[in-house]
Structure 1
Amino acid sequence: MDTKNDPPLDGIAVRGRGLIKRFSDLTAVDSVNIDVYSGEFFGLLGPNGAGKTSTMRMLSCISRPTGGELSVLGRNPRRDAAKIRARLGIVHQENNLDIDLTALENLTTYARYFGYPKPEARRRGREMLHFAQLDEKADSRADELSGGMQRRLAIARGLVNSPALVFLDEPTSGLDPQMRHIVWQRLLELKQQRTTMVLTTHYMDEAEQLCDRIVIMDRGRIVAEGTPQMLIKEHAGQEVVELWFPDNPTEETTLLISGVAEQFDILPDRLILYVPDGKAAVTEVHRRGLSPARVTVRRSTLEDVFLRLTGRTLAE
């Protein structure tokens, strides 16, 4: 039943055209076109309420589109949803583990749902325990595991059927930095094996580290698409200068700043400048007679891209 090497048509694992999702009078997803290529690590990102969860549910065949066309692994979900789901791996934001079962039993029981006989289900369970670095916890109940171990077990369970396409919904939510990096390492191993993965996350460094390509959504539409590096270069420049002033910036201040940086944002507590050379920009700020109370210069990030495109941070 291992269908992982059965490629989707024309190298595209997921293709959506004009996807719409409505809930009564609310249009959560508004005519979205989206492609996920076979073997890529794809990020679907946006602020809360952007429509990414509704999009994710449509792509993973949990929810039917209100309108538009969708193909997943070369099949139409309206006709072949069950066949598609048999080839998917889904890691939900909540672990959804059976706390009364051991780590190994969680995996073998889940494998049985996909029709594997007991010996093969047990073999796959052992294999995925090793992948998640949980060999020594095989006989421990799920509720005896730490939060990080439970997340690794949930990811392992989502992979136990050798899926052709994996959906990861906030896979490291609530984990401390050390555990997040351990989970990243497991996901990077899958990336090296050319497993097709779709990720939602509120951690910008996670998206930047893992994703080959990213789609940013806001208010039900796609507002940007590209590699992390392309998005940063296009929307945030090389570096960011943050200027804090004792009082709110005046119109005169912003006029002076506009000569220093072509792109800048005005926040309640500071001005953010997107520039090719942060040190040179700070020198020019002082040359123009401006005296910020505090100045920081840093590399541009995806968080800056979000701010530029949506006016909000991802966590809002």
Structure 2
Amino acid sequence: MTELGILGTGSYVPDRVVSNDEAGAGAGVDHAWVVGKTAIGARRWAAPGQATSDLAAHAAAAALESAGISAAQLSVIVVATSTPDRPQPPTAAYVQHLLGAADAAAFDVNAVCSSEVFALAAAEGVLARRGGHALVIGADLYSRILNPADRRTVVLFGDGAGAMVLGPGGPGGRIRHLALHTFGELADMIRVPAGGSRLPVDAQVLERGEQYFTMDGRAVRRFVQDRLPPLTKQFLHEAGVVPDDIAHFIPHQANGVMLQAVFEELALPNAAMHLTLADYGNTGAASIPITLDHAARAGLLRRGELILLAGFGGGMAAGFALVQW
């Protein structure tokens, strides 16, 4: 198979800026508390009429323009999301229609906040068979499923979308290696309890608030701190590189305080860690492609440099991609 490259990137966040004081009001926390716990300064929340597919289509259009590719040239569209427009059909079908990409197969991938890396692997597999170009979009709209009284979650999340166009060759980043991990025994650490076949939504569910996103924050932090460093070292070894080779580290934008501690543990001496969470919060599957797009458009990525993408989150799951720019 011809080696795939990232031919273009794009991102989109809604217009509405939500301060820490506004986001935390219902949970009884203020700006100082949120910054001290998370390093998040603000986030964007979608307008009432916006859905995940709308955010995804905006980011996709920017990525297509960056790549110089038309929607008609796409073979596949993969939307990485855990906040779809509806349980059915896939959000990717709406995005395909919004873009006018009539020849593209379209489907969703849900590995929660690791979804973008899982979607990259899925797109790579499709292109190995079908050829052409892929559009991989991470998009989440968490503001719809947050409990305003839960300080563990309501202040963390923002809405947004990021996208990458994949194809043969090109001037962008070459995907050198991918690795995916799932730890299903820990699946209940991050979840939306109701709304599926296990627990359909009814009046009692709504009264108990089980339609909202929930997370065991301390357990998640332990998972990231205990699992991410050894998994990262294993990944780099499998990819045939050493920590000194990495020039850029783009993690899932979960919590800035936690990420700083993890980055120090990773011991990547020549790497710059890129963060967008101060302005956008945790944008779920969108966080890695948004941050990559910001770094690319700011001219921070130089040809030949190695970039480590690291996703982690519900499932529990972790996904890694090594990109040579």
* TM-score grouping bracket, smaller chain normalisation: under 0.3
